[in-house]
Amino acid sequence: MTDSHVTVDVGPVSFADVVAVARRGAAVTLSADAESAIQRARAVVEELAGAATPAYGISTGFGALATRHIPTDLRAQLQRSLVRSHAAGSGPEVEREVVRALMLLRLSTLATGHTGIRLETARLIADLLTHGITPVVHEYGSLGCSGDLAPLSHCALALMGEGEARDADGRLLPAADALAAAGLAPLELGAKEGLALINGTDGMLGMLVLAIEDLRTLLRTADVAAAMSVEAQLGTDRVFAPELQAIRPHPGQAVSAANLTALLADSGVVASHRGPDCNRVQDAYSLRCSPQVHGAARDTVEHAATVAGRELAAAVDNPVVLPEEHRVESNGNFHGAPVAYVLDFLAIVAADVASISERRTDRFLDKARNHGLPPFLADDPGVDSGHMIAQYTQAAIVSELKRLAVPASVDSIPSSAMQEDHVSMGWSAARKLRRSVDGLSRVVAVEVLTAARALDLRAPLEPSPATGAVVRLLRQSGVAGPGPDRHLSPEIETCVHLVQSGAVLAAVRDVIGELP
């Protein structure tokens, strides 16, 4: 846990709030305005619960069973039964950061005053987040419609003191024991609370926000890797000039090209072949078109961020409480299509940026294309294999990323006796995107590793100050320079960590400032 703190208000939580709670263990409280909004909506639910007219989710069954009116003495059992039956997930545990993001986003919807939850229930979610108690959620169970029902139900189960959870130290405990150890008491859910706790797109949205955060870092790092490759393969930086980018005015392309220009500034390697004796007409697409590919990826990520921002501002529940009109209405806002589409779109981005990174790397290894470097960058080619199999690793990952780029959101399997006859599969899209983002980071890391070796082999020519800082970072982190073959996997994993942690970008920032 950390000392940071997030206050959930009636307005949307920010991207930074999600990251702080999910990844840095920030504590969570409700604002006074949020608590007032929750209480106003709850008053409407209490009134409707006592009325003779059935109200969906308050005094009726759910889904295909919504036609049954539930008598007052069975309504507490109705809520318990809903959560217990819907907590039907299977498979491996979902990552702690995903569950924390999911819980925060559910709390954010509750804070809008459109769900009818009781204040003590909302406060208990905040308490679980603050104490680092993470309910066990499983990989499989959500169709991304009627919300992420099974994942959210496992979280709701913990509020009832049932199921399993992990404490702040990661120990697996019965949820009741985890609550007791933190001085918290389980709840008996009131009318409508079961639905209010489980009917949202919070899991897929949380994973979308985290993926956007990671991809923004990775796309800037991909610019660094591309600059190192252009430089070490004796490419030109002239194609990145701003007047050329302005002819095709995509904003991401302009930013990426400007990054490449800044990264290659004052490069002794580039300067060595910039004169009139250079006979290179134009570079291969994987070098020359890096800003076009990376820029399109940037623009796609920002489109996804726009969708995520709208979703963060939403109150996703069914039925929804309209306190001003003193009524509860059924709706379809729980459908995950808006989120699912961009999750799939980002998997395409990850696959294609990884693909061009792998192609840049491969050029280093072929003596017919690497402009004077040894085959496979090997110390003694034939005796040594150099980075031959590092490229195999890239290729294997890129192949998987292409499979993961097949959209999940075009699939739909009807459920709930055909009441829920079209679903988004957004949770599945989010799960595969997480794997795609991890794969992209590994492919970019291998390019950085290989390009750094190639830059060393260009000595005595000096790399640019920015790319040279990355080479030094690797060497200071235990990744040795050119030499006889050695165990390569640990060096790859070191580079993966340097990429994922943002250390590569930090090394560049310290020399030329923050890359946009």
Catalytic residues: 56
In 168-316, at which residue ranges do the beta strands (DSSP E only) sit?
Answer: 172-174
- What is the C-alpha to C-alpha distance for residues 388 and 371, in angstroms, rounded to an integer? 17
Based on DSSP, count helices (H) and strands (E) in the chain, helices before strands. Answer: 20, 9
Distance CA(211)–CA(95), nearest Å, equals 13
User: What's the token pair of residue 354?
Assistant: 């990884």
Amino acid identity, position 257: A
CA 385 to CA 111: how far, in whole Å? 59
Contact 134, 93 (CB under 8 A): no
| 8 Å CB contact between 147 and 334 | yes
Measure the CA–CA gap between 256 and 410, rounded to whole angstroms.
Answer: 31
CA nearest to 121, candidates 201, 196, 209: 196
Distance in angstroms (rounded) separating the CA atoms of residues 82 and 49: 17
- The phi and psi torsions of 468 (rounded to 5 degrees) equal -65, -35
User: Which DSSP symbol is given to 406?
Assistant: S
The β-bridge partners of 111 are none
Helix (H, G, I), strand (E, B), or coil: what is residue 251? helix
**Through-space distance between the first and last CA atoms of the chain, rounded to whole angstroms:** 30
Sign of CA dihedral 112, 117, 123, 128: negative
Cα distance between residue 215 and residue 343, in whole Å: 12
Omega within 30 of 0 (cis) for the link into 174: no
